Each structure stands twice: as structure tokens, then as C-alpha cells.
Structure 1
Amino acid sequence: MEKSEVYSQELAKLQAIFTDVDPAKAQLVEGLMEDAAFLKAENSVLKQALKTTGMVKIHPSNPDLQKPVEAARQYLKNVNAYAVVVKTLNGVLSKNALDPEDDMDEFE
């Protein structure tokens, strides 16, 4: 799948998830949704490259000599950044959800 397709699908998915969120909050996190979609698209490209190269290059005659692939480092950085963005977006969703009525409300 093309990087632009991955970006569009991820952004559309996130926007659909945020349709019931207060419009002000949705507007506030619009940039985060775009960042999440960007990171997902970038990682899809890196992941395809890493399927060919692997995460670590191993010297053919001396297996003890190993060198991390730069794409692997960037992939891991992107995964961590994506996780932070998704966690932040989830926090906004959680605060937007109405708490179901608590049985203890009857005793107030």
C-alpha cells in the first residue's frame, strides 16, 4: 500500500473515532491525529524496508560484529512517538465519555 493511502486511511479512522467528541476538543487534537497518521504512514514504508534488510546487519564472516540498521532505529523512535500520540488521543476520548450512572448516586 502506498504511503499516502496509509496516511489517508489512518486519518479517516481517527476522524471517525472522534466524530462524537466535543467539536472544540476534536479541533484541538486535529494536529495530533495528523501526526499519528503521518507516523503510521512513515512506519509502513520503514517496515517494508526492514522486511528486506532486517533490524541488524551481521558481518558475514564474524557474527559477533553487528550493526543496527538506521531504518530500524527510526522505526522504533516512530513507534514510541506514535504510542504517545495515541495515548494522548485516547485520554481526550476518555474525558469526553460520559460516565454511566453509578449505583451510589441513589444514596446522595
Structure 2
Amino acid sequence: MSKSEVYRQELAKLTEIFADVDVSKRKLVEGLIEDAAFLKAENDVLKQVISKTGMVKVHPEYPELQKPTEAGKQYLKNINSYSVVIKTLNGVLSKNMIEEEDDLSDFE
């Protein structure tokens, strides 16, 4: 799957998840949703590279000499950023669900 296809799929998935969120909150996190989709697509490409090269280069003559690959380093950075973005988006979703429950309790 191409990077643009992964991006579109992730963007569509996250947009669908946030469809029922208050419009102002959805506008607030719109950039985060796009960033999450971008990071997901970038990591997909990096995973393909890493599957061929590995995350660590080992010296052929001296196996104790090892060096992380740039793709491996970037993948880990992206994963950490993606995790923070998803955690933030999840927090917005959780608050939205709590507010909906509070609105329903007014009618009880």
C-alpha cells in the first residue's frame, strides 16, 4: 500500500471516530488528526525499510560493534510522537463521552 493510501485510510478512520464529537472540539483537534495520519503513513514506509535493513547494523567482522540505523531512530521518534498524539485525541474523545453522559443524567 502506498504512503498516500495509508494516510487517506488513517485520516478517514480518525475522522469517522470523531464524527460525533462536538464541532468546536473537532475543529480544535483537526490538525492532530492530520498529524496522526501523517505519522502513521511515514511509519509504514519506515517499517518497510527496517524490514529490509533492520534497526541495528552489526559490523560483519566485529559483531560487538553495533550502530542503530537512521530509519530505526526515526521510527522510534515517530512512534513516540504518534503515541502522544493518539493519547491526546483519546483524551478529547473521553471527555466528549463523559459530557454526553452528564447531559443524559439531567433527564433522569
TM-score normalized by the length of structure 2: 0.91
What's the counterpart of residue 53 of structure 1? Answer: 53
Q: Give me the whole-angstrom Cα distance separating, in 2, the residues matched to 1:71 and 1:99.
A: 44
Q: Give me the whole-angstrom Cα distance separating, in 1, the residues matched to 2:39 and 2:58.
A: 28
Matched, 1:91 2:86: no
What's the counterpart of residue 4 of structure 2? Answer: 4
| Aligned sequence identity (%) | 69
Structure-to-structure mapping, 1:29-108, within 5 angstroms: 29-97=29-97, 98-99=100-101
- Secondary structure of the 1:99 match is helix
AA paired with 1:89? L
Q: Give me the whole-angstrom Cα distance separating, in 2, the residues matched to 1:40 and 1:96.
A: 24
CA RMSD of aligned residues (A): 1.5
Structure 2's unaligned 5+ residue stretches are none
Q: Give me the whole-angstrom Cα distance separating, in 2, the residues matched to 1:99 and 1:26.
A: 18
How many angstroms does 1:7 deviate by? 0.2
- Secondary structure of the 2:62 match is coil
TM-score normalized by the length of structure 1: 0.91
